[in-house]
Structures are given as C-alpha cells and as structure tokens.
Amino acid sequence: AIHQSDVLVNVQNLSKSYPVEKNWLGRVKKRKMILKDINFNVKAGEVLGLVGESGSGKSTLGKCILNLTEIDSGKVKYKGLTLGDLDREKMRRLRKEIQIIFQDPYSSLNPKIKIGSAIMEPLAAHNLEANTKSRKEKAMHLLEKVGLKPEHFDRYPHQFSGGQRQRIVIARSLILEPKFLVCDESVSALDVSVQAQILNLLNDLKKEMGLSYLFISHDLSVVKHFCDRVMVMQSGKIVEEGDVEAVFHHPKSEYTRSLLDAVPGMA
C-alpha cells in the first residue's frame, strides 16, 4: 500500500477543455475536452511514464500539473498543497521544486545567451546564491554533473550538438534543486545512442538527487526501459495504469494492446 507520505504529486478528477467556438459577443459557445477526469499519484523517487498517441492530451496534462495552464475542475496537489489555492508568491517559491524539460532544447535556450548565463538565470530569478561567483560555481558544478566541460560555460547554444543541448537544458532545470520533473518527450528528438546516454544521465541524477519524474513519451520501448509505472492515455482519458512489466506484458485495454502491436518486438 502507498503511504500518503510517499505521495509527491496527487492528481484528483482533473479535467481541462479549450474554447473552440465563440459567439459574436465573444462568449464561448463550444469547448473541446482535452483531459477527462484524470486521477493518479506520483510517488517520491518514482519514474511514472505517460504514453499515448500524439494529440491524446499528454503534454497538456504535464502543463496542468505544473500549474502552467489553468484547469477546469479537479485538483493537483504537491506534497499535500493544492496548487490552484496558492497565491503567486507561494507558487513562485514552489516553482523551485517542480520543473519541466521540454522536447526541443534549442527553443528552450536563447541563441544570444551563453549557456553558462542560461543555466544561472533561474538562480537570479529566485534570488538564490549570494553573488555571481557562487552562482557560477553552482552552474559549473552542474555542467560537470551532466557531462559537459568547464570551457563550455562561455559558448552559445548553436555551438553544441542536440544531445549536448539537452544536457544543458537538464542542468538548467536542476539548478534550483527540484524534487519533481516533467520530462515532455525530452529524448524523442535525439538519435538512439544519444537517447540512451541522456536516459542514463537522468537515471543517475534521479538516484543522486532524489528526483521523481513524470516521463511523457510516445516511444514505448524507451518507457519500458526507463519507467517504474506507466499510464496509457487515449483521447484525454487514462485507459490503463500499472507497473511497466504488467502493463506491457499483460495489457488489459484494447488500446494499449494496439499501441504495443504497432511496435516491433514489444508485443
């Protein structure tokens, strides 16, 4: 049984829709449901996978959990705190603990800003570390942690490969020492050998820093290799959830079975 104290993130009856049609007064006539009555927990130290076809609502769910987009109904709790109830200042303080790693590191990095400054930027935004020197020390330490070199500090994003840029984005996400990270398709743009390196890095960092991940992906073989549990999403609903081994070897839902059948060697 899960002890309540082990639960880091708790999502209750979450629903989200977007307006698709307005009348001539600008009032919403029609809404499209993106997420329907979602319930799940993420435990401390766990990697929870979220799979489903493109357009199933996976990325929207990631944004809802991080309070980056408003929800229609339901609750997202982090360490027992309901995010929707927090004022801006409390939410800002909590932001340090919950971070996101996006799919495209290039668009997450300003091409005009050296990567050292980009990694330090969240520290300045949260008024952490006394001065530039201590911020730089922390950023250098993280660069090393993610497998980059001190001389990379003063280079620009375009001077790096895709895999290196993803490492930079990971370093920036970790500078505030978060506990929970949403990885939104964060290895899908990389080739297979680089993907494996980044997954190994994320796994090492999880153990070392006590992290928990919500790992959003359409790549079932990556999820099987990397995650402890998995949720399967179809058209905004969770149709199956369980330990990776159980779901992938004994799928209960037709939809999960069809996803697995489409991947050679998975079914």
Instruction: Tell me the C-alpha distance between 252 and 239, whole Å.
Output: 9
Find the mean pLDDT for residues 229-239.
Answer: 95
Find the mean pLDDT for residues 218-229.
Answer: 92
pLDDT reading at 228 higher than 90:
yes
pLDDT tens across 92-146, in order?
Answer: 889 889 998 876 766 778 899 999 999 998 888 887 776 888 889 999 999 998 8
Confidence of residue 21 (pLDDT cuts 50, 70, 90): confident
Confidence of residue 206 (pLDDT cuts 50, 70, 90): very high
pLDDT reading at 41 higher than 80:
yes
Which range is least confidently modeled, 36-45, 144-153, 179-188? 179-188
Find the mean pLDDT for residues 178-197.
Answer: 84
Which range is least confidently modeled, 3-12, 28-37, 169-178, 211-220? 3-12
Higher-confidence residue: 22 or 213? 213
pLDDT score, position 29: 87
pLDDT reading at 181 higher than 70:
yes
